[in-house]
Amino acid sequence: MQRAHARCALFFAALFAALLLATAPALAQLPESCLPPGQDHGKARVDFVYDGDTVRLVDGRRIRLIGLDTPEFHHRDERREAEPYAVEAHEALKALLAEHGQQVLLVHDRQRHDRYQRTLAHLYTPDGRSITALMLQQGLGTRLTIPPNDWNVDCYRDAEREAGIAQRGIWSLSQNSLFDATELPRDATGFRRVEGRVTRIGESPRAIWINLEGDVALRIDREDLQFFPDLDVTSLMDARVRGRGYVYNHRGQLRIRLRHAADLEILAVNGS
């Protein structure tokens, strides 16, 4: 029964990917903020697709796509089911690559490798379309900005926003709704978007804390403040702000670490 269920899931995921390709002309027009590859760092051929954001090239390099985080398969824990849209993201990336004969263009950012020694790169189709942006535009992942690799961040933000407005893919799930900080479930985990009024600004030797109503704190490590060049923390008291990231619980308080200015939006200052 379990194998039959898995085969059924794969069938519908493949069907979903086929439908995405069928509607590709409608999604092919990426936001105007999307930059072309410009001077790329070489052409390559994909040999294997691990999931929606990680592939292996024929030369053996394992590529982690910059700017994209797709739902997890939980490969290392067979007891856990794949997250919603993990299979669809995997199949859609496979279909997109197959459409272009597995050929990609690589564009590196400031860092060449992550802590797992995977090669970091922005991937493009041979005709110059951002693969990260195409996946985000289809609602098959969230924008992930990890400094200092923030090239093309505006493109990824706008592609994700388009999917969110249309409620495509993961944006059709209630867990990805925009939560008021006072209504965020106390057992919340994973990626979340919250909005609320700032009640206190805290500081420690390592971080700045933007505390919201509802006992939710947005944390900015001091080492990341350089990626918030226009942020005046002292002006945020009573402001209404919106933050996004991965939530964790620390001694009963929900916290979200913000790594980049693209993850913080100031909606109203001092009640204005």
CATH number at residue 53: 2.40.50.90
Q: Which of 170, 249, 256 is nearest to 221 (CA)?
A: 256
The structural domain count of the chain equals 2
Report the CATH number at residue 208: 2.40.50.140
Query: Taking the CB of residue 116, how many other CB atoms lie within 10 A of it?
Result: 8
Q: State the catalytic residues.
A: 64, 72, 118
Query: Where among 157, 172, 187 does a domain terminate?
Result: 172
| 168 and 181 both lie in a single domain | no
d(CA 3, CA 6): 5
- 44 and 123 housed in the same domain: yes
Q: What is the pTM of this model?
A: 0.87
- Residue 24 above 50 pLDDT? no
Q: Which residue would you say has higher pLDDT here, 185 or 271?
A: 185
Please report the pLDDT score of residue 6 as a whole number: 46
Q: Which residues does residue 113 pair with via DSSP β-bridges, in sequence order? A: 119
**Based on the domain organization, do 155 and 22 belong to the same domain?**
yes
Kindly state whether residues 126 and 88 are assigned to the same domain.
Answer: yes
Clarify whether residues 163 and 195 are in a common domain.
no
Alpha-helix residue ranges (DSSP H) falling in 100-202: 131-137, 153-166
| CA 149/CA 120 separation, integer angstroms | 9
For residue 267, name the pLDDT band (cuts at 50, 70, 90): very high
Instruction: Specify whether the CB–CB gap between 84 and 169 falls below 8 A.
Output: no
The pLDDT value given to residue 2 = 43
Based on the fold, state whether residues 192 and 222 are members of the same structural domain: yes
Tell me, what's the pLDDT at 184? 96
Encode pLDDT of 78-126 as tens digits.
667 889 999 999 999 999 999 999 999 999 999 999 999 999 999 999 9
On the question of a cis peptide bond just before residue 37, with omega within 30 degrees of 0, the verdict is no
Q: The domain containing residue 187 runs over which residues?
A: 177-268
Domain match, 116 and 186 both: no
| Predicted pLDDT of residue 19 | 52
pLDDT digit string, tens, across residues 141-182: 999 999 999 999 999 999 999 999 999 999 999 999 999 999
